[in-house]
Amino acid sequence: MKGNDGDIIARNKTLSWDYYLDKINDIDSFITRYYHYLRWKSVLDYIDFIFKNIKPDAKVALDIGCNRGYYSAKLGCLGLTVDAVDLNLNSYQLIRNPNVTYFEEDFLNWVPPRKYDLIMTFEVYEHIPQNKRQMFIEKIVNLLNPSGVLLFSGPNCHSMYYGAGYVKDSIKKVFGCVDEIDWHYRIPCQHYNQMFASQNLEIINWYTNGVFPVFSNKLEKILKIFSTQFITDLDLSLSEILKGFGANYFAVLKKSDMLDG
């Protein structure tokens, strides 16, 4: 990962693949960078969507599983007070912003200092032990202010990318190489929708991104011939059409005013 660079959170739809490589991440494998870049674009677009259409008056936010604080800093630059929590924080890599406070805590055991207008959690749910996932979602709902918004993402096993992982783990299980199929490969987008409905969260918008089956890191050299930027832009455009078949599930959800009433 690159060092601190507060400018990365100022970019939205103009965030290019080359800028991402130069300022954010040119170290991880191509597959990791590819899907992380798509997530970046989707999250930034959704933040715009939330502030223009859903919660323009949001003042306090929580970022669960904040990593370096990419999105926390984005919200901080928009004037929000942000609490950012992660089980493992590297102080050297954190993106500093005067409006962001970092907590190195296990979210399930952490005692938050307040409730929030906006909560974000990206690719965290699948890492929570299966028997604690309902507790995880219930805690999030309880931390939302009335009419608060949740921006959520997680893996979708209906995609070719995670579907291939399911097949791979299934073969390993047959031969006794693994005891269980990794939960990354077992969660369909419908699971999330049903879970949110059970918590009385209104789904404002959802889709999946990353419809291209990127399986090999060796593809990077091939994609460069056709322009990786063109491929990623095309992927995001097709994701809007092929809803439900992308690798990453995204949803904007709103808490009912009545839940705390």
**Per-residue confidence at 10, pLDDT binned at 50, 70, 90?**
very low
Average pLDDT over residues 222-241: 91
Task: Please state whether the predicted TM-score (pTM) of the whole model is above 0.95.
Answer: no
Question: Do the beta carbons of residue 150 and residue 255 sit within 8 Å?
Answer: yes
Q: In terms of pLDDT, which residue wins out, 59 or 22?
A: 59
**Residue 82: other Cβ atoms inside 10 A:** 26
Q: In terms of pLDDT, which residue wins out, 260 or 184?
A: 184
CA separation, residue 257 to residues 144, 147, 149 (Å):
10, 5, 11
Average pLDDT over residues 170-198: 92
Q: In terms of pLDDT, which residue wins out, 159 or 10?
A: 159
pLDDT tens, 94-149? 999 999 999 999 999 999 999 999 999 999 999 999 899 999 999 999 999 999 99
- In this model, does residue 215 exceed pLDDT 80? yes
Average model confidence (pLDDT) across the chain: 90
**Per-residue confidence at 260, pLDDT binned at 50, 70, 90?**
low
